[in-house]
Amino acid sequence: MTLPAPGAALPDDGYVAYLKAECPTCQLVAPLLGELGATVVVQDEPGAFDGAIDDTALALSFAADVEAVPTLVRRAGGAEVGRTFGWSRADWRRLTGRHTLGADLPELRAGCGSKTREPNVYEHLVARFGAPGFSSRAIAVGDWDDPVEACFDRGWTDGLPVVPPTDARILRMLDGTARRPGEVIGRMPPDLAPLTVEKVAINAVMAGCRPEYMPVLLAAIEAALKPVFTLHGVICTTCFSSPVIIVNGPIARRIGMNSGINALGQGNRANATIGRALNLIIRNVGGGRPGELDRSTIGGPGKYTFCFAENEADPRWQPLAEARGIAAGRSAVTLFQGDGIQGFIDWKSRTPQDLSRSLAMSLLAVGHPKLCEFFNAVLVLSPEHHAIFADAGWDRARIEASLRDNLRRPGRDLVAGAHGVGEGMPADRGDAMVDKFWPEGLLVVRAGGAAGLYSAICCGWTGGRFREESQPVTIEIAE
């Protein structure tokens, strides 16, 4: 269909009325338009008004930036010189200079929303008739080509199908943040390519995000780009690791993140796509592609996505972000350099002391039982296991202190060669008591369903041995 050029069908002088047949106020004012000699532009059913211009493609309404109907525009010399919307007798009389106009009509009637502002419509109109203003290079896809396959062909995917990033979808995603599309957030490793908000939105579209996820994704990116997160090392290592995103605060509930049953698994759009978007950005902007700069020997499922929210339903529990310095009640992300999940099962320990010792036995295996102060770790404590601690009056600080005590062992059992195992700590640690983790190296998070005496352990990457140089990062989410 050939669309009219914006303004081409409109008079240089006179009145233009933008209407919808389904709008009662439009029907109310319709008799006045003949009196004014107005040109009528109709967004839905042009046959409903005599002599109306068909604007079902919405080109004219978009060009006039119509937000509500009826909108009455006064034109002079080919330009707009005034407008009013809805029905206000005083406003219509002021605009037209006709002091008896609409004497038999009510004084006021609200109008209806323009079809140009309906959900998912405006972005399509900007993409079709406007100027999106993107700096990213557009890729043309032929009429007979499959856009999903085109994304595969160009290497933009993680092996799963992605959502083709059309202009309308990118514009809609950018509505999720007040930040300018051209703002450079930082340089994404390993290629250190400039990462703009626009590039984030493009990859968020491909990952399947909703616009309201953008603040979480942007915060996760900013955390990843902190030098102390050592993202370049996490990407390029031969280890298993990838970024693990843990979300705290009101935003997790507002966007529908899962912190309960199957929180670390599939099935929740926010969890799945926020983590996936970060990994796609690492791949598509930073160049971290497997077999190229991503040199992971075995890899892990977290390289697709690893993102979940902490379960904050129990008021006895201090959330992770608060424990790491974020004010109570604020939203935050914690980014951890982590591997897959090591399951922990204990159905029989019923005292906090027994459970702490039991958890420590599994935590000792992180990375290797004889490697200490070498990895960080996340302990995902299920609600049932947490209740054993909480019902005995143990808070986060006491749980963490007990775990540290139970994770301390004689160096003679840990040095290289001890017990006939070549791996281990340097010989000079043989006379010391050695902690498994640095004091801040074990992050305890509460998540999971209400039933089941199962918890989980996520091992950190080997760069954790450089305590001051590589650490998890927690930052507040700007909403």
Whether 402 and 461 share a structural domain? yes
Residue-wise pLDDT tens digits, 59-89: 999 999 999 999 999 999 999 999 999 999 9
Residue 384 is assigned to a structural domain of this protein:
yes
Say if residue 43's pLDDT is above 60.
Answer: yes
Whether 343 and 460 share a structural domain? yes
pTM for this prediction? 0.87
CA distance linking residue 344 with residue 170, whole number of Å:
42
Whether 327 and 274 share a structural domain? no
The whole-number pLDDT of residue 136 equals 79
Whether 200 and 103 share a structural domain? no
Residue 183 is assigned to a structural domain of this protein:
yes
Residue 244 is assigned to a structural domain of this protein:
no
The secondary structure of 39-62 as a DSSP string is EEEESS-GGGSTT-EE-TT-HHHH
The whole-number pLDDT of residue 363 equals 98
Mean pLDDT confidence for 422-445:
95
Whether 407 and 357 share a structural domain? yes
Say if residue 23's pLDDT is above 60.
Answer: yes
The whole-number pLDDT of residue 162 equals 97
Domain boundary among 129, 144, 166: 129
The whole-number pLDDT of residue 102 equals 94
Whether 136 and 38 share a structural domain? no
Residue 260 is assigned to a structural domain of this protein:
no
Whether 136 and 86 share a structural domain? no
CA distance linking residue 41 with residue 30, whole number of Å:
12
Say if residue 328's pLDDT is above 70.
Answer: yes
Residue 251 is assigned to a structural domain of this protein:
no
The whole domain housing 118 covers 14-129
Whether 345 and 274 share a structural domain? no
How many domains does the chain contain in total?
A: 3
2 falls in which pLDDT band (50, 70, 90)? very low
Domain boundary among 129, 149, 170: 129
CA distance linking residue 457 with residue 343, whole number of Å:
6
Instruction: Compute the mean pLDDT over every residue in the chain, rounded to the nearest whole number.
Output: 93
Of the chain, the percentage scoring pLDDT greater than 90 comes to: 87
Domain boundary among 67, 100, 129: 129
Say if residue 6's pLDDT is above 50.
Answer: no
Which amino acid makes up residue 241? S
Burial of 9 by CB count in 10 Å (0-12 exposed, 13-18 middle, 19+ buried)? middle
Whether 471 and 342 share a structural domain? yes
Say if residue 173's pLDDT is above 50.
Answer: yes
- Record the tokens describing residue 184, joined without a space: 């450079």
CATH of the domain at 65: 3.40.30.10
Whether 171 and 279 share a structural domain? yes
Residue 24 is assigned to a structural domain of this protein:
yes
The whole-number pLDDT of residue 397 equals 97
CA distance linking residue 254 with residue 143, whole number of Å:
39
Whether 65 and 186 share a structural domain? no
Residue 1 is assigned to a structural domain of this protein:
no
Whether 214 and 296 share a structural domain? yes
The whole-number pLDDT of residue 4 equals 44
124 falls in which pLDDT band (50, 70, 90)? confident
Lowest mean pLDDT among 1-15, 397-411, 441-455: 1-15
Say if residue 143's pLDDT is above 70.
Answer: yes
Residue-wise pLDDT tens digits, 354-379: 999 999 999 999 999 999 999 999 99
Residue 327 is assigned to a structural domain of this protein:
yes
Residue-wise pLDDT tens digits, 191-231: 999 999 999 999 999 999 999 999 999 999 999 999 999 99
